Amino acid sequence: MLRFTFLRLALLGLLVAPAAVLRAASAEVPYFSDNGYGNPVSSLQHPAGEHHAGVTYVAYQGPHEDAYVAAYVHATASWIGPVLAGVSPMGKSPDQIDPAELDNHGKPALIVDRQGYIHVVFGAHGGDPRYGPNPLGEFFMGTKGKMTHVVSERPRDISRWRVLDNLPPFGTYSQWVKLSNGDLYLFYRHGGHRSDWVYQKSVDDGRTFSAPVSVLRHKPSSADPLVHDAWYAWFERGQGDTITASYVYHPCAHPRHSSHRQNAYHMRFDAVAGRWTNVQGKPLTLPVTKELADAHALIEATGSLSSSHGTCRVDALGHPHVVFPVAREVRYYRWDGHQWLPPVAVGAGAGRVNDGDFIIETPEKVRMLLQVTTEAGTELGWWNTSDGGRTWARGTPLLVSTERTFRLSALLANAHPDALLLASSRSATDAHLYRRMHLLGESGPLARPAAEAGHLGDRLEQVKLLPPPKLEKAEAKRKKKAGLLDEEP
């Protein structure tokens, strides 16, 4: 049976690690749903899910760019959902087959509060101007949508949801951070490119939030009047009640706007003391400007090499480890208590490497999940270091495909070993924008009976009636966005 299942999946262009194959019966598939839509997940909008009380809850972008939520019950190895959690104001009907029609910036971020209620924020790319003036940003390059906050009507129950209209409409790239006492921080960009990155704090399980606090300031560049200082940032809980931040700089030019981003930065927030500092502990005055970041938070100046946001984790000593894609590399940086060690390109020479996320076991021992693409196909798997990142060795693959490519979320909050992160997959031959959704753990994807994993209904038949994609428009948009990993077409 094992050999038969392995060969059957191979014929589908999707191989799984042996331990995962053992879990999968012949009537099972290595994905839990087929209704992911467009670019359903990203490492930027995070966490995409959380493990809570024996259940892993996950959120992703489904049909019409709406927010969908599913749940995996670990004790019974069973799935619930997916269900529609909230409607995106950016969605179009019918479901498009033209990638140029999708925005993809309103992907959901999910967190579970201390009472067990599930919160999802989604649905905006800077906010529509009809909602009024944006006090902390600009409507630059066609912002749209409305940041939407929904909560489950009952604890640990994804069947029914309601809207909590308690956030500004202008958010992009929603990121939840939950501290040990249950306080919730929601970080996001307060509008389009030319906007502050902010946070709002809730001490009552997301029912109310404090006013936005600007962390990274947007402003005209002091070096060039045609350039505006802009940012892409990633926030996560650090050691204790601290929050770690890693970010890159975007010289937002007008005219001649480009997608170029550069440099690598880091800082942290002590939520108890209410103080932001750099890695050496020097206090930073908010909002942080380009000049202040360059002087006190810079890890590496990449110059003409384009960098993009990555992920940041903190080891048991409180020292940050950071990953940034730079040019065509995924660079790993580590603070050893005295200095940032020279960056190392993980997976160099293995093929085209895309960023994933990583687990710190000790300050010297780290495991990173990466996607590597070669002419032979695509592999999602572990890369390991035991010498503090100086050298990396290829580890066990979780998914290997000769025809499908993947997009990864960041690690889920409080992740269970069997359910570490979400991935979506697509085939280049797909004549539609639907994606398979995978929940990956240490041993590979969690299986689901094929009959339960199909949620498209007759949607594929309906999209056949749509006009063909506007290929020239899609290609022009792709070129305009060339090099971006989070500003997807």
Q: Which residue has the tokens 């409607």?
A: 87
- 258 φ, ψ (degrees, to nearest 5): -135, 170
Whole-angstrom distance, CA of residue 189 vs CA of residue 215: 10
Does residue 267 contact residue 238 with C-beta atoms inside 8 Å? Answer: no
444: left (phi over 0), alpha (psi -120 to 50) or beta: left
Rg, C-alpha atoms of the chain: 21
Q: Identify the three-state secondary structure at position 85.
A: strand
- How far are the Cα atoms of 123, 217, 237, 275 from residue 105, in angstroms, in the given order? 8, 21, 23, 30
- Cα–Cα dist 164/85, whole Å: 12
Residues paired with residue 408 on neighbouring β-strands, in sequence order:
423
Q: Which amino acid is at 386?
A: S
- Residues 105, 190, 193, 250: which is the catalytic one? 105
**Catalytic pick from 173, 199, 232, 249?**
173
Q: Could you tell me the two tokens for 379?
A: 């592999």
Taking Cα atoms as reference points, which of 18, 37, 3, 32 lies closest to residue 433?
A: 37
Q: Tell me the C-alpha distance between 369 and 84, whole Å.
A: 29
Residue 468 CB: number of other CB atoms within 10 A? Answer: 8
Tell me how far apart the alpha carbons of residues 218 and 487 are, in angstroms, rounded to a whole number: 18
- Is 105 tagged catalytic? yes
For 26, list phi and psi in degrees, rounded to 5: -65, -25
Say if CB 16 and CB 399 are below 8 A apart. yes
Nearest to 445 by CA among 17, 9, 30: 30
How many angstroms separate the CA atoms of 116 and 100, rounded? 38
Distance CA 73, CA 356 (A): 25
- Containing 128, the helix (H) or strand (E) segment is none
Active site residue 185: no
CA atoms of 28 and 450, how far apart (whole Å): 5
Residues annotated catalytic, as ranges:
105, 173
